[in-house]
Amino acid sequence: MRPRSREPQWDPARQISVDHRSPVPLYFQVASQIEEAITSGALPVGARLDNEIELAGNLGLSRPTIRQAIGSLVDKGLVVRKRGAGTQVVFNHVKRSLELSSLHDDLTGIEAHPTTRVLVNEICHPPEKAARALGLSEQDEVLHLERLRSARGEPIARMRNYLPAALIKPSDEELTERGLYQLLRAAGVHLHAAQQTIGARTATDEEADLLDEPPGAALLTAQRVTHDHTGTIVEYGTHVYRASRYTFDLTLRGNT
């Protein structure tokens, strides 16, 4: 029987280069190149880095320099130090462009293996802010959804949505398997445009528990009002995202 061939592994001795004459600190040079390997997929989730002594020896650097480089990656949430297992890649930071798409679709597009836990799926009367955003009264009925979205096994966002009650009636199973915009399009809703406001705040105890963050951790926030092709408002969403795992990506164009 032939021995099973191994896939080539990322080799820090060959992939990392440092310039001792550069004004850029050595630890930062090392950390930025490891981060690039993680974001490019050369170091996938679950990959283990050499220990500090081996990395220092292979790169001709001091152990404190390597410790500082690894520490900066830990602070960014890209790797964790595990007793007895060394340093392990845990997550690729998700960058999301600001387009009229659902988080589920975006995560699927970058092969982040999204999963969903349905927290709330009910018909109710909307709170004042949601009613105002949808152009309804507080006596009208709406579909109220709350979901916890994860990527690569880690929670990344808690999403809360309000929609006119007659629009769709999704089951928990459908919400688990498909994105909200997929379900709307399947129901014949033609999504056309949205206004979105991005902000930031600290996590409540409940949010921190759901998102596996410490209480008071930084969260990104997004509020969105979505219109169909007739100009009718079909969704009001208010979401929070882990700032340690998620960024919004914008393209800015100058006037011509």
Look up the CATH number of the domain holding residue 236.
Answer: 3.40.1410.10
Query: 60-119: per-residue pLDDT in tens?
Result: 999 999 999 998 888 777 788 776 667 888 765 555 544 545 555 555 544 456 789 999
Give the Å distances, CA to CA, from 169 to 60, 101, 143, 144, 145.
62, 20, 8, 10, 11
What is the predicted pLDDT for the residue at 95? Answer: 52
Whether residue 39 is found in the same domain as residue 150: no
Q: Which distant-in-sequence residues (6+ apart) come within 8 Å of 237 by Cβ? A: 159, 160, 161, 162, 222, 223, 224, 226
- Its pTM stands at 0.60
Whether residue 167 is found in the same domain as residue 190: yes
The closest of 230, 240, 229, 224 to 134, measured between CA atoms, is 224
Whether residue 98 is found in the same domain as residue 84: no
What is the predicted pLDDT for the residue at 101? Answer: 54
230 by Cβ neighbours in 10 Å (0-12 / 13-18 / 19+) ranks as exposed
Distance (Å, rounded) from C-alpha 151 to C-alpha 115?
6
What is the predicted pLDDT for the residue at 8? Answer: 43
Give the Å distances, CA to CA, from 250 to 56, 98, 105, 218, 223.
38, 6, 18, 20, 16
Choose one of 33, 55, 89: the last residue of a domain: 89
User: Is position 62 within any domain?
Assistant: yes
Whether residue 84 is found in the same domain as residue 100: no
Choose one of 89, 104, 123: the last residue of a domain: 89
User: Is position 33 within any domain?
Assistant: yes
177 by Cβ neighbours in 10 Å (0-12 / 13-18 / 19+) ranks as middle
Measured in whole angstroms, how far is the alpha carbon of residue 116 from the centre of its chain? Answer: 13
Mean pLDDT by 10 residues, the chain (256 residues): 46 83 90 84 80 88 92 80 74 52 51 81 96 93 95 87 95 93 92 86 94 90 88 92 72 52
- How many folded domains does the chain comprise? 2
Whether residue 20 is found in the same domain as residue 110: no
Whether residue 22 is found in the same domain as residue 136: no
Whether residue 52 is found in the same domain as residue 122: no
Instruction: State the residue range of the domain holding 154.
Output: 94-249
Pairing of β 191-202 and β 218-228: antiparallel
Whether residue 76 is found in the same domain as residue 111: no
What is the predicted pLDDT for the residue at 105? Answer: 53
Whether residue 123 is found in the same domain as residue 78: no
User: Is position 100 within any domain?
Assistant: yes
Give the Å distances, CA to CA, from 143 to 68, 94, 99, 120, 127.
49, 29, 24, 10, 12
Whether residue 114 is found in the same domain as residue 182: yes
What is the predicted pLDDT for the residue at 103? Answer: 55
Whether residue 194 is found in the same domain as residue 72: no
Whether residue 85 is found in the same domain as residue 99: no
CATH of the domain at 68: 1.10.10.10
